[in-house]
Structure 1
Amino acid sequence: MIYRLYRGLTTMGAPLISLYLDRRKRRGKEDVQRFPERLGRPGRSRPAGPLVWVHAASVGESLSMLPLIERLCARRLTVLVTTGTVTSAKLMGERLPKGALHQYVPVDRMAYVRGFLDHWRPDLALWAESEFWPNLLVESRRRGIGLVLVQGRVSAKSFDGWSRAPGFIRRLLSGFDLCLAQTEDDARRIRALGGRDVRCLGNLKYAVPPLPADGAGLARLNAAVAGRPVWLASSTHPGEEAVAASVHKALAARFPGLLTLIVPRHPPRGAEVAAELRGLGLRVALRSADEALGADTDIYVADTIGELGLFYRLAPIVFVGKSLAVGGGQNPFEPARIGAAVLFGPAMENFPDMAPRMVEAGAALEVADSDALITVVGELLATPERVAALTAKAAAWAEAEAGVLDAVEAVLAPALGALEKRHARS
């Protein structure tokens, strides 16, 4: 009943959908050059042979799927990756291996969905995490496309919401032949909502290789820093830049030459963040404006795309954002993989398994609030040997967890082998 209503609304609501998309284009949230892809009109031809379609909502999900995409391409399969954001499209353009290509996911209106599926004719679809587009899922299932949920995640809040529409979510989840959950809690919720063959093999975020960094760029930044005490607030959200500023002000006199690096989670906020910090009396340089990181710079705002690995290598102490002022948390595995002393706040709901395991293993420290962050950053800056111990534990823990990729590939092997044989006969 709910699905029929949804389908009817998305069909009859075409004018409203068009207005909504036009507004997104004006705000820079749609790729004007490639916008037809959002309407189910392909941007390129379909390669011959078996095609595996990987759908990931945005940056975090698409990055977590990269190791699996590389394994699929190594099997000489064509991999079509769809995402919905401009930022994720840019990153995928830079990071996808040979044999993989990117398209924007079509808006979930049946006419657009059918245009997309008619052209690409995927043999197998791997959906990442929790973005369940009803028309796209139902139509894929109707066409006999194999569906696997990878990195399945359903938070306690989402579970409560979906539980109010049990028939609707059951129809969507039951379309997946296999559901691979991130954690046992996710597996339990997915099973309760109607998922079939639900398993927990681990989190693919553990298999992601270290974020890349340009060697020449890192050398230039290291020269600019020239031995100054440095710490980084990464993937920050509104409110957390002010927290980072308070840390800097509290510790600057104690640690002469202190440099605070800030990487906003959403780069377009860079100018706004810089203005806020300058209003607090701090000397700020903005990377996107090519402002020099000088000896008198208090805070360097790195509002660029795809350079997080560069700054994780520059700063031995990393606070991971969205964990104090907003809540939910950003990925703490990425700085651990590179070998940083990792800190985060208490609001890490997006990583309910990873965050406590890192703390338990001594691979990260949790700080309760901004005052605690000041205390812990000060203690770490004062004791390099403690930083070294933390970074070693973080790197060792991250390396030990990286075997999940083999387990996921093994469980997908029967489906992959079947589609390879099917195309070999055709």
Structure 2
Amino acid sequence: MHDGRTRKDLGESVLRGLYSLALYLLSPITLYHLVSRGFRVREYFLRWGERYAAYRANPGRPCVWLHAVSVGEVNAAAPVVNALLAQRPDIRWVVTTITPTGSARVRALWGERVEHVYLPYDLPGSVARFLEHFRPHLALIMETELWPNMLFGCRDQGIPVYILNARLSPRSLRGYRLLKPLIGRALRTVACVAAQSAGDGQRYQELGVRADQVRVLGNLKYDIAAPEGLEAFVERFRAALGAPRPVWIAASTHEGEEQAVLDIHRRLRARRPELLLLWAPRHPERFERVREAAAAQGWKVGTRSADTWPDGSHDVFVVDTLGELMAFYGCADVAFVGGSLQPVGGHNLLEPAAVGTPVVTGPHLHNFEEVSRRMDQAGALRIGADADAVGAALEALLGDADARQAMARAGCALVADGRGALRRTLELIGPDLPAPVAHVP
């Protein structure tokens, strides 16, 4: 028994040492990454100390730490954080992200009610400083953020780790192939993998998680709530337009999809000259680029930041703000969700469905495999094989109010039926939450 444990510890030490050495040797690339991204998104030039767990402030009291890599994961975590902020106002929350857009979303949702820093790189020294500074009582990691040194560091300090809303596509599983011996050991340290689906749970087991660590709780994205004041928002939108106009939205689009959006809008306007495009690129650095690209087509282009609302003269309206996408989904007759005409893997299809907007998407949906399958089977989604097919689906729906209504009903019903992951998640992590305190200084 002792020899077996020694061999296991030695194997872990060797794998961790090789992994950490590789990260240290690659450290200059992290600086290059920050600089190169900074030329496109200036926020990447800021707060470098946090990337290496160098903090000026003194440590605070122990916290519950939640990590969500970017906007999508922050939105998925929102029901959990919101519920616990209401139920347990005594808890100190620290939320980490990797991207500036994720950081902005954290601030938009919770302001100063939570602390936010960037997750440090998975270097042993940075991990140790992060855990020593924040002293997490509990760690909640969203979806598929698997950093071995951080997981081992939490185990070594007795911090229970839950991977919430856990998903792992076949493609991601293949991507972890080289690190599987190390990732498997790291994953066996976590308290629980709360999987979105049985398939996700099975793939986590193939990566190294024990069967008894996996619980299939469903997808937290189904527990999404419509934005407060949505009805009034839509009324203001329509009042600004003046006369009724057909509206479609291209949401979460990526750079390689932008020409397709322009081509589709031109094609749709050939039949419906009054058609308005709402355009919400995935990344803020693309806001001005898509505005310029649409203006170059000869269209009159408005933006949320400059014009507030589109009027009867606008052909395209760029949603160049964060946190308002669901509200603008509610203003559209039909939605195209991007990240799906390229092998990005798609983006959240449930947000438009939750506000009653029919959804069209491209074929690349590996990040939303289970959701897209269920929506397709329910009649709440149309999947185009390519940009031309997406355009045809949008054109058909714009001309068929009955079909739009049927898809809207199916989408709303599917979201309602899928709810429940939030309750199950809160029950799961409840025993490891810190004991209540009577007074928060």
Same fold (TM over 0.5): yes
Equivalent residue for 1:51, pick from 63, 71, 77: 63
Q: Does 1:392 align with 2:409?
A: yes
Residue in structure 1 matched with residue 188 of structure 2 by the alignment: 174
Cα distance in 2 for residues equivalent to 1:393 and 1:115:
49
Is residue 35–residue 44 contact of structure 2 (8 Å, CA) maintained in 1? no
Residue in structure 2 matched with residue 184 of structure 1 by the alignment: 198
Cα distance in 2 for residues equivalent to 1:391 and 1:190:
34
Aligned residue type for 1:352: E
More displaced 10-residue stretch of structure 1: 206-215 or 188-197: 206-215
Equivalent residue for 1:195, pick from 192, 203, 209: 209
What's the offset of the Cα at 1:372? 2.3
Is residue 66–residue 96 contact of structure 1 (8 Å, CA) maintained in 2? no
Cα distance in 2 for residues equivalent to 1:421 and 1:217:
38
Aligned residue type for 2:223: A
Map residues 382-421 of structure 1 onto 2, 5 A cutoff: 382-416=399-433, 419-420=434-435
More displaced 10-residue stretch of structure 1: 163-172 or 314-323: 163-172
Q: Alpha-carbon deviations, 1:30-87, whole Å to 9, x = none?
A: 4555433223134655554x52111111111111011111223222322211111111
Residue in structure 2 matched with residue 378 of structure 1 by the alignment: 395
Cα distance in 2 for residues equivalent to 1:335 and 1:45:
43
For the structure 1 residues 224 and 348, does the alpha-carbon distance in structure 2 shift closer, same or farther, using more than 3 Å as the test? same
Q: Does 1:131 align with 2:148?
A: no
Cα distance in 1 for residues equivalent to 2:83 and 2:57:
23
For the structure 1 residues 228 and 212, does the alpha-carbon distance in structure 2 shift closer, same or farther, using more than 3 Å as the test? same
SS at match of 1:253: helix
Q: Does 1:147 align with 2:164?
A: no
Cα distance in 2 for residues equivalent to 1:172 and 1:402:
31
Cα distance in 2 for residues equivalent to 1:26 and 1:318:
31
Map residues 72-83 of structure 1 onto 2, 5 A cutoff: 72-73=84-85, 74-76=87-89, 77-83=91-97
Structure 1 unmatched ranges of 5 or more:
none
For the structure 1 residues 353 and 162, does the alpha-carbon distance in structure 2 shift closer, same or farther, using more than 3 Å as the test? same
SS at match of 2:341: coil
Is residue 167–residue 200 contact of structure 2 (8 Å, CA) maintained in 1? yes
For the structure 1 residues 205 and 168, does the alpha-carbon distance in structure 2 shift closer, same or farther, using more than 3 Å as the test? same
Equivalent residue for 2:121, pick from 99, 107, 115: 107
Q: Alpha-carbon deviations, 1:135-193, whole Å to 9, x = none?
A: 22222221111111112222212212323333111122112121111221111111122
Is residue 129–residue 150 contact of structure 1 (8 Å, CA) maintained in 2? yes
Cα distance in 1 for residues equivalent to 2:198 and 2:225:
24
Cα distance in 2 for residues equivalent to 1:20 and 1:345:
30
Q: Does 1:221 align with 2:233?
A: no
For the structure 1 residues 219 and 195, does the alpha-carbon distance in structure 2 shift closer, same or farther, using more than 3 Å as the test? same
For the structure 1 residues 38 and 296, does the alpha-carbon distance in structure 2 shift closer, same or farther, using more than 3 Å as the test? same
Number of residues paired by the alignment? 421
Aligned residue type for 1:159: L
Aligned residue type for 2:216: C
**Percent of aligned positions that are identical:** 36
Cα distance in 2 for residues equivalent to 1:209 and 1:323:
24
Is residue 305–residue 320 contact of structure 2 (8 Å, CA) maintained in 1? yes
Cα distance in 1 for residues equivalent to 2:31 and 2:273:
55
Residue in structure 2 matched with residue 272 of structure 1 by the alignment: 289
Equivalent residue for 2:98, pick from 84, 102, 110: 84
Map residues 1-16 of structure 1 onto 2, 5 A cutoff: 1-11=14-24
Residue in structure 2 matched with residue 205 of structure 1 by the alignment: 221
TM-score, scaled to structure 2? 0.87
For the structure 1 residues 44 and 58, does the alpha-carbon distance in structure 2 shift closer, same or farther, using more than 3 Å as the test? farther
Cα distance in 1 for residues equivalent to 2:69 and 2:42:
14
State the superposition RMSD in angstroms: 2.7
Map residues 255-334 of structure 1 onto 2, 5 A cutoff: 255-290=272-307, 293-334=310-351
SS at match of 2:419: coil
Cα distance in 2 for residues equivalent to 1:228 and 1:421:
53
TM-score, scaled to structure 1? 0.90
Cα distance in 1 for residues equivalent to 2:37 and 2:388:
38
Q: Alpha-carbon deviations, 1:381-418, whole Å to 9, x = none?
A: 222232222212211211221211111111222222xx
Q: Alpha-carbon deviations, 1:346-394, whole Å to 9, x = none?
A: 2111001000101111222222222222322222222223222221221
More displaced 10-residue stretch of structure 1: 381-390 or 275-284: 275-284
Q: Does 1:236 align with 2:248?
A: no
What's the offset of the Cα at 1:257? 0.9
What's the offset of the Cα at 1:234? 0.7
SS at match of 1:420: coil
Cα distance in 2 for residues equivalent to 1:174 and 1:355:
30
For the structure 1 residues 33 and 367, does the alpha-carbon distance in structure 2 shift closer, same or farther, using more than 3 Å as the test? closer
